[in-house]
A and B are shown apart, each in its own frame.
Chain A
């Protein structure tokens, strides 16, 4: 059974704060790591697919880094806005399946 863990479980920040959270995953047999953003009552939305050690990807104020040798990925949000409030999920791809972490729930207060 693959172990994918995310920390923290939840995070409350003020509008304008920058924040980051962690996803840890098995460092052997790495294929890809996916990040999703999931707003309440909506579908999970793909943010990034990370595939190479040292990968850095950016989408607006959100960026992610990948370290496959030590088995972790960081997601950063610069200048958080209330609309960033969501659950952020990482998922380790092994074979045909995604193994998800428990998610980090971000609440941004205006």
Chain B
């Protein structure tokens, strides 16, 4: 079992560009959540996808959007990048039917916006 995988591991973009990050969930999981971790802070919830729909969203602007595919993998898209979007982006997968919905994390994608 490969666990949660994310690609790419690192990415450098310039302000105003768009970026797509990818996540493959742990085998058997059906739910994907995305988090942003800025330097020196804990991860912040962006949104969660289940059955290809966004279930809940954190306090992030519409520039952040996502998608979940029929195989449960997911993408995070960020448009019109700002310097402040530089962060580690973590993907976590879980199985919705489990009572406490324990989330398993990938290693993250480090995004640098210049």
Contacts and interface: CB of A to CB of B under 8 A. Distances in A.
Contacts of A36: 105
Interface residues on chain B, size class: 20 to 34
Nearest to B31: A96
Contacts of B45: 97-99
Interface string B54-75: 0110110000000000000000
B39 to A, nearest CB: 11
Interface string B84-111: 0000001010000000111111111000
Given A32-B100, A49-B102, A97 B56 contact: yes
A51 B102 CA distance: 12
Interface residues of A, number: 27
Contacts of A4: 42
A44 B37 CA distance: 12
Contact of A100 (B4, B42, B59, B101): B42
Contacts of B58: 97
Contacts of B24: none
A43 B35 CA distance: 13
B4 A43 contact: yes
Interface of B: 3-4, 33, 35, 40-45, 48, 55-56, 58-59, 90, 92, 100-108
12 contacts: A4-B42, A42-B107, A43-B108, A49-B100, A49-B102, A93-B100, A96-B55, A96-B56, A97-B48, A100-B42, A101-B42, A102-B41
